Amino acid sequence: MKCWKFSGHHTREHARADIARYIELRYNQIRLHSTLGYRTPNEVESEWFGRIRVA
């Protein structure tokens, strides 16, 4: 994971919001989730859309 050094955030709240945004938009998209069979959300979504197109 990236090292979070001072990057121009004016307040702690702004830094927290920036980190939360990173986790939601980047990290969680590539992280393996045990509830998804140790696949990424992107893999599961692609599989789901593939099934819909076939049906």
Q: What are phi and psi of 14, to 5 degrees?
A: -65, -40
Q: How far is residue 50's CA from residue 24's CA, in Å, rounded to a whole number? A: 24
CB 36 within 8 A of CB 29: no
- Number of domains into which the chain is organized: 1
pTM: 0.53
More confident residue, 28 or 54: 28
Q: Is 14 part of any domain?
A: no
Q: Is residue 18 part of a domain?
A: no
Instruction: Give the domain extent around 44.
Output: 31-55
Asked if the structure places residue 47 within a domain, the reply is yes
pLDDT of residue 37: 94
Note the pLDDT tens digit of each residue in 4-39.
565 666 788 888 998 899 888 888 888 898 999 999
Give domain status of residue 37, yes or no. Answer: yes
